[in-house]
Amino acid sequence: MPGPPVPDTGGRIAKPLPPEHFTHHDTNAEMRWEAAGDQGYLVDTERFFVRNHTATPRIDADRWRLRVWGDGLRCARTEDEAVTLSYAALRRLPSASATAALTCAGNGRSFFGRQQSQGAEGTPWELGGIGVARWHGVPLGTVLEHVGVRPDAVSVLATGLDEPFVEDGVDHGPVRRPLPMEKALDDTLVAYEMNGAPLPPDHGFPARLVVPGWIGIASIKWLGSLQVSTTPLDSPWTTTFYRLQGGEHPADSPPITTGGIGSAFQLARGARLRAGERVVLRGRSWSGLAPIRSVAVSTDGGDTWSDARLNGPNEPGAWACWELDWRPQAPGRVELLARATDETGRTQPATEPWNRYGYYFSAVVRHPVEVG
Ligand SMILES: Nc1nc2c(c(=O)[nH]1)N[C@H]1C(S)=C(S)[C@@H](COP(=O)(O)O)O[C@H]1N2
Ligand SMILES: [Mo]
């Protein structure tokens, strides 16, 4: 029997998106959690979600240059004078690795509408806009020292080489976002490898930022330039997008930076389970702030809770895998819930205050199953 049709993204995503592994939304593709059971702590590169504002560009690494400039540098203070780094030169700099999640700030967005009856604009992600990979590249601080950063630099604006992002007739220019210098010099990588191989086109080839613990948009793909400044920089991705706007949020709420907290079951929504038969419920929980301290699971719609067993690594800015044994009793529809608490004490709430663009859905998601 033929399966569901393989989505055609019109070339905007380069890799195959088999429907058993991905749900495809326009230029984006999320990981299907029910298929994550064969994945280790890291998500295979070919299984990793893709979030493109426009389309994956095809970049020739031999001709690619990273351009670095700005008044926060000792030389190359204007764009015309930019210092350029080739792919080979980048790869010759001292390198480092990090295990980190990329989490789209809109991950879980569809649950604003499905669970709280007030929908939000944007890609209707379920919970698959997240993945953990092992990244390798040059610490951004090493790149900045190499080109000569001034001690009074405060901001680094990273710009991608994808086509400009146009929405509702407004051209916002190329995807770009500033990083404060403290985070740039702390643990941010200019990554050129993902899971031990060169970045594939969809994930930023030849080089991208990886900003551990921060929302995905900070990790600019297809890195083309870095503007280093002694005054704070902005872009539409900090002034318009990636702010909690509307609802109860103050008009001047700052851009979101660190990643939210969440949990997912490695099970289809509406999965069929047999009454009286033992099953192991498995899932993963994440927080941008810290490792996961505990995960409570309810198999009765939230009336009673049990602690899941955490197993395997539990890296900060990544995720923790967990499991719980369960023997469903009476036939019928049941809602499973998983609620994570991180090492800072942050816990997933029952509801998430609405915001216009539907960012940061961290409330506990109700996961229906059919016991038969
Ligand atoms: N240049 C560029 N960088 C980008 C994006 C983009 O569209 N263009 N999308 C961002 C967003 S919103 C996310 S969530 C992550 C997704 O990374 P991935 O596609 O490798 O999973 O990349 C970020 N970096
Ligand atoms: Mo994102």
Q: What is the pLDDT of residue 329?
A: 92
Ligand 1 binding site (Cβ under 6 Å of any ligand atom): 48-53, 102, 104, 160, 162, 175, 203, 216-217, 219-222
37-47 pLDDT, tens digit per residue, is 999 999 999 99
Nearest ligand for residue 133 CA: 1
104-159 pLDDT, tens digit per residue, is 999 999 999 999 999 999 999 999 999 999 999 999 999 999 999 999 999 999 99
Q: How many residues does the chain have?
A: 372
Q: What is the pLDDT of residue 10?
A: 74
Instruction: Tell me which residue has its CA closest to atom 15 in ligand 1.
Output: 216
Q: What is the pLDDT of residue 147?
A: 97
217-242 pLDDT, tens digit per residue, is 999 999 999 999 999 999 999 999 99
pLDDT above 70 (res 202): yes
46-97 pLDDT, tens digit per residue, is 999 999 999 999 999 999 999 999 999 999 999 999 999 999 999 999 999 9
C-alpha 203 to ligand 2 mean position (Å): 12
Distance of CA 244 to the CA centre of its chain: 17
Percent of the chain with pLDDT over 70: 98
Query: Taking residues 206-224, what's their average pLDDT?
Result: 98
- For residue 25, the cross-strand partners are 28
Q: What is the pLDDT of residue 11?
A: 81
C-alpha 219 to ligand 2 mean position (Å): 9
User: How many whole angstroms separate alpha carbon 1 and alpha carbon 105?
Assistant: 37
Q: What is the pLDDT of residue 167?
A: 93
- Closest atom of ligand 1 to 165 CA is 7
Which residues sit with Cβ closer than 5 angstroms to ligand 2, an ion? 51, 104, 216-217
Percent of the chain with pLDDT over 90: 96
One DSSP character per residue, 201-250 reads GGGTTT-EEE-TTB-GGGS-SSEEEEEEESS----HHHHTSSB--STTS-
Q: What is the pLDDT of residue 227?
A: 98
C-alpha 277 to ligand 2 mean position (Å): 39
Q: What is the pLDDT of residue 1?
A: 44
Instruction: Tell me which residue has its CA closest to atom 12 in ligand 1.
Output: 217
The answer to whether 343 and 291 have CB atoms below 8 angstroms apart is yes
Residue 49 burial (C-beta neighbours within 10 Å; 0-12, 13-18, 19+): buried
C-alpha 216 to ligand 1 mean position (Å): 6
- Closest atom of ligand 1 to 215 CA is 14
